[in-house]
């Protein structure tokens, strides 16, 4: 309630015996209620806190995808977003090695009553026969139109290499219709996209993965109209990350970037080593209003310790929050930095 200066004690959302809970994703609705989804025993579940500051989670718990007792990989990368008219949208990747089509596909489900029921049923966006991964979405607040991107290996001869694809979802008659997915990148191996909407312009950032990870960049593409046509996506000429970066470990192997709207700008923060793979990752930032890589990168951390997996949010369109992991492969801490608009104040949670 004070823009991240102080925090309440941690509250238990759900406790269950012999259950593995991972990959939590959370969003706050305009009324202040938190909505959360996560992977539970390879399935997918959802909960909300009932009412603002109430902290009563149990009554809202719902199983979206039942636990997977055999087969793999199950559910991964769940992503939740709230918007006006009590909409709650969830997307995720889901696959099962025991199915006729075992590779993960991207799925969506929607609630129109604040999470009480999910009346817009689970639906696959695309069943491609390839391993669809890392979905990200932005929802138009007034219309409920969904703009969705994910990583898709569209090259038959190199199934381990990715392309970023886009599809637009529109609800009609209680069902979601998706446009034919289109490829919006042209590089050899594009990974882990993220998307935001600034005004009428969609901004997508993603990793340009090269040379077995020794050489990586963060790239950007955007579209302002008729985005279901590949020709209307315009890539920024130079990599927005600037110089070469890398990842100093197997978790994660790629650069990871996140993009949000901040005022009239698209702002991206990402992790990466400064030179090759000999240093620890640093958190860097760039933005569209500064010309992306045309201006010096904003360096948030040093290479004295690994700083990885940045995640961004904006409150009231100005308070800017950056959360990231810092530490070793076995011991990590979560850090928060916040600014309004130019002073970063660190807070650490153990």
225 in the same domain as 339: yes
**Over the Cα atoms of the chain, what is R_g?**
20
Q: How many structural domains is the chain composed of?
A: 2
Structure tokens at 284: 């860097």
Q: Decide if 59 is inside a domain.
A: yes
Instruction: Tell me what pLDDT residue 346 has.
Output: 55
Instruction: Tell me what pLDDT residue 279 has.
Output: 80
Which range of residues forms the domain containing residue 4? Answer: 1-129
Note the pTM of the prediction, 2 decimals.
0.92
193 in the same domain as 339: yes
Give the torsion through C-alpha atoms of 38, 337, 198, 90, to 10 deg. 0
Round to whole Å and give the CA distance between 214 and 208: 11
Which residues have a Cβ under 8 Å from the Cβ of 122 and sit 6 or more positions away?
64, 65, 107, 108, 109
Q: Decide if 151 is inside a domain.
A: no
Question: CB–CB of 25/80 below 8 Å?
Answer: yes
Q: What is the CATH number of the domain that holds 302?
A: 2.115.10.20
Q: Each residue of 174-220: pLDDT tens digit? A: 999 999 999 999 998 999 999 999 999 999 999 999 877 778 999 99
Question: CB–CB of 163/154 below 8 Å?
Answer: yes
Q: What is the CATH number of the domain that holds 37?
A: 2.120.10.10
In which residue ranges of the chain is pLDDT below 70?
Answer: 51-55, 154-157, 159, 276-278, 341-350
Q: Decide if 144 is inside a domain.
A: no
Q: Decide if 148 is inside a domain.
A: no
Q: Decide if 168 is inside a domain.
A: no
């Amino acid at each position: 309630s004070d823009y991240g200066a102080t925090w309440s004690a941690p509250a238990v959302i759900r406790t269950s015996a012999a259950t593995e809970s991972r990959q939590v994703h959370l969003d706050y609705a305009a009324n202040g209620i938190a909505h959360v989804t996560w992977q539970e025993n390879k399935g997918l579940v959802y909960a909300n806190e009932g009412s603002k500051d109430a902290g009563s989670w149990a009554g809202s718990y719902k199983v979206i995808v039942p636990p997977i007792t055999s087969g793999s990989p199950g559910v991964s990368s769940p992503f939740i977003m709230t918007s006006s008219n009590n909409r709650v949208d969830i997307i995720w990747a889901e696959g099962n090695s025991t199915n006729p089509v075992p590779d993960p596909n991207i799925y969506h489900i929607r609630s129109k009553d604040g999470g009480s029921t999910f009346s817009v049923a689970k639906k696959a966006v695309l069943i491609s026969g390839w391993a669809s991964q890392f979905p990200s979405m932005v929802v138009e607040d007034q219309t409920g139109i969904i703009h969705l991107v994910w990583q898709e290996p569209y090259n038959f001869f190199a199934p381990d290499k990715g392309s970023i694809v886009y599809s637009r979802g529109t609800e009609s008659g209680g069902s979601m219709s998706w446009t034919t997915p289109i490829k919006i990148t042209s590089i050899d191996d594009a990974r882990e996209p993220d998307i935001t909407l600034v005004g009428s312009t969609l901004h997508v950032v993603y990793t340009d993965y090269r040379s077995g990870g020794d050489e990586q960049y963060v790239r950007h593409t955007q579209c302002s109209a008729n985005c279901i046509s590949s020709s209307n996506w315009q890539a920024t000429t130079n990599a927005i990350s600037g110089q070469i970066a890398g990842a100093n470990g197997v978790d994660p192997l790629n650069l990871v970037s996140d993009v949000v709207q901040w005022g009239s700008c698209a702002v991206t923060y990402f992790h990466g080593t400064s030179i090759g793979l000999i240093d620890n990752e640093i958190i860097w930032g760039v933005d569209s209003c500064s010309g992306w890589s045309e201006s010096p990168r904003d360096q948030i951390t040093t290479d004295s310790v690994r700083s990885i997996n940045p995640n961004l949010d904006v409150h009231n369109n100005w308070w800017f929050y950056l959360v990231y992991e810092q530490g070793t492969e076995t011991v990590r801490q979560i850090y928060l930095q916040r600014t309004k608009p130019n002073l970063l104040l660190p807070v650490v949670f153990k």
